[in-house]
Amino acid sequence: MDNELFLIHSDIPDNVIETMLGKSLPTVEFAQILSLVTVTYIDYDGNIKTGDLIVHKDLAQEVAEIFQEIYDSKFPIANISLVDVYNADDNLSMINNNTSAFNYRLIHGSSMLSNHSYGRSIDINPLVNPHVINGTAYPAEAASYIDRTIDTPGLIREGDAVYNAFVSRGWTWGGHWSNPDYQHFEK
């Protein structure tokens, strides 16, 4: 793995914790189980960019390896930013096609905490890879992407580079669920 492209921080820097606190992060102490992983990716225009993901410490190295594999495959990612850029508003982050990981929040339509709350889930290009519940796309702006046969950049399909990078390491893809969540990988 090219360490110049993928930097793993064992602890989240204080300035990042300050940005997250009261948005995606419930307490300073909760940050102790999390790591900041800075990854390099190719955006929709072919530009090389960097972005930050907050993940569980146990998954940080693996996430860096996954994103190295995605980068090497030239799979396009629209944007990678902490969900706090969107005030921890998951819907706003999805509408902006933002790839993100940690967000202390409930599962949509539930009273249970999401695996995102523990840094154990990552959503990739969520606008073009919507969560589909009973035929309705979330976010609503993603309705045209329910059709998985369309040819659009950043669309995840079983067997593609993103799918293989995660699933080969034991991650579960939400695209296989009865209410598919095409953006979602968890471990």
Residue type, 99: T
- Mean pLDDT of residues grouped by 10 in the chain (187 residues)? 67 96 95 96 98 97 97 98 97 98 91 96 99 97 97 97 99 98 99
d(CA 153, CA 37): 24
- Sign for the CA dihedral angle at 37, 38, 42, 45 comes to positive
**32, 34, 36, 42 alpha-carbon torsion, rounded to 10°:** -170
Domain ranges in the chain?
A: 7-186
Tell me, what's the pLDDT at 7? 73
Identity of the amino acid at 19: T
The whole-model pTM stands at 0.94
